[in-house]
Amino acid sequence: MTRFAADWLSLREGFDARARNADVVKAVAAAFKGLPSLIVADLACGTGATRRALGTHLPQPQHWRLYDNDLSLLARAETPPAPAGSSIRTRPVDLMHDLEATLDGGPDLIATSALLDLVSQEWLERLVTECAARNLPLYATLTYTGEVTLDPVDRLDASIIAAVNRHQTSDKGFGPALGGAAAAELVRSCKSVGFSVVEGGSDWVIGVEDREMQSAMLTQWSQTAQEIGGIDTQDIAGWFARRRALVARGVSTMRVGHRDVFARPATTR
Ligand SMILES: C[S@@+](CC[C@H](N)C(=O)[O-])C[C@H]1O[C@@H](n2cnc3c(N)ncnc32)[C@H](O)[C@@H]1O
């Protein structure tokens, strides 16, 4: 199982919030406009970033059901508290085994964020099939696409990112992961069950001033490239040092590809 530290989720939350595709958010907002109340199930909620990002675009009162298998993240997921009349309920769930339980009980919307690149083809199909069986719309955001642009370019960038993308397809607890193929597979699968799809890019744009985020990315990429093998350790260390020097000099930028999708059945509940 891959563990996600709360401080990493906190660091990425601002980049995620800026990256979320505005047209996709608009489509979600339009779909639920005027409803007297709303139940949203957030799968793999982490510390609750999706509620913080999407909540202001949806009608009140809202009842959020937050699911994750990490108790320490769930313990942080009720901030800020729900306004009067709305509610937040957190539940520890292993989505590999108990996905269906999270879709039952009458949610109006299934949300998930930064999860689907971690799951297998089989699990993705199961999610879409089970949503379709219940007529449930799905808002799936910040799925990593495998496209990374680093500027200025280093001679080892392409090899390192290729190694990272190979690592992305290893088992993260759901079977062999889709990695960079996940967003396209989600769209294909949703269309195959007759859902209409609104989709768009939600790339992280990481600027020269975002040194902490850039350092975190370089550390993660070096570690995953090392773990998956195929590149000499000294070469990885040299790449890491060169890229860190560019960050320190304030001349490094990064773009990390993601995609957002809102998929909905022809008729909703
Ligand atoms: C990249 S984090 C995204 C968290 C949150 N959605 C966000 O956007 O900040 C992936 C999340 O998936 C959760 N997760 C991974 N495997 C899981 C599983 N089998 N069941 C439930 N949650 C899982 C992790 O605990 C983590 O919170």
Distance, CA of 51 to chain centre: 13
Q: Identify the pLDDT of residue 1.
A: 45
% of the chain at pLDDT higher than 70? 99
Q: How far does the centroid of ligand 1 lie from the alpha carbon of residue 151, in Å?
A: 30
- Which atom of ligand 1 is the closest one to the Cα of 13? 9
pLDDT, the chain, mean: 97
pLDDT band at residue 4, thresholds of 50, 70 and 90? confident
Q: For 145-158, write each residue's pLDDT tens digit.
A: 999 999 999 999 99
Tokens of 102: 């999270």
Q: What would be the CATH architecture of the domain defined by 6-147+175-205+258-264? A: 3-Layer(aba) Sandwich (3.40)
- Which atom of ligand 1 is the closest one to the Cα of 42? 6
Q: How far does the centroid of ligand 1 lie from the alpha carbon of residue 44, in Å?
A: 4
Q: Is 190 in the pocket of ligand 1 (CB under 6 A)?
A: no
Q: Identify the pLDDT of residue 159.
A: 98
Q: Is 95 in the pocket of ligand 1 (CB under 6 A)?
A: yes
Query: H or E segment at 257?
Result: strand 253-264
Q: Considering only CA atoms, which residue is closest to atom 1 of ligand 1? A: 114
Q: Identify the pLDDT of residue 141.
A: 98
Going from N- to C-terminal start, the domains of the chain cover 6-147+175-205+258-264
Q: For 148-188, write each residue's pLDDT tens digit.
A: 999 999 999 999 999 999 999 999 999 999 999 999 999 99
* Spatial distance between the Cα atoms of 98 and 142, rounded to a whole number of angstroms: 23
Tokens of 182: 């996940």
Q: In terms of DSSP bridges, do strands 109-113 and 38-43 run parallel, antiparallel, or are they unpaired?
A: parallel
Q: How far does the centroid of ligand 1 lie from the alpha carbon of residue 173, in Å?
A: 11
Q: Which of 42, 66, 69, 91 to mutate to test the pocket of ligand 1 (most atoms within 8 A of CB)?
A: 69
Q: How far does the centroid of ligand 1 lie from the alpha carbon of residue 41, in Å?
A: 13
Q: Identify the pLDDT of residue 267.
A: 75
Q: For 28-77, write each residue's pLDDT tens digit.
A: 999 999 999 999 999 999 999 999 999 999 999 999 999 999 999 999 99
Q: Considering only CA atoms, which residue is closest to atom 26 of ligand 1? A: 46
Tokens of 220: 């993660």
Q: Is 200 in the pocket of ligand 1 (CB under 6 A)?
A: no
Tokens of 106: 């009458």
Query: How much is the pTM?
Result: 0.96
| Between residues 269 and 102, the one the model is more confident about | 102
Quick one: average pLDDT of 76-97?
Answer: 97
% of the chain at pLDDT higher than 90? 97
Q: Is 4 in the pocket of ligand 1 (CB under 6 A)?
A: yes
Using alpha carbons, select from 74, 76, 126 the residue that is nearest to residue 101.
Answer: 126
Q: For 188-209, write each residue's pLDDT tens digit.
A: 999 999 999 999 999 999 999 9
Q: Is 203 in the pocket of ligand 1 (CB under 6 A)?
A: no
Instruction: Provide DSSP, 46-114.
Output: TTTHHHHHHGGGSPSSEEEEEEES-HHHHTTTT-SPPPTT-EEEEEE--HHHHHHHHH-S--SEEEEES
Q: Is 69 in the pocket of ligand 1 (CB under 6 A)?
A: yes
Tally of CB atoms within 10 A around 20:
21
Range list of H helices, the chain: 6-19, 22-32, 49-54, 71-74, 95-103, 121-133, 157-168, 182-192, 211-228, 233-248
pLDDT band at residue 268, thresholds of 50, 70 and 90? low
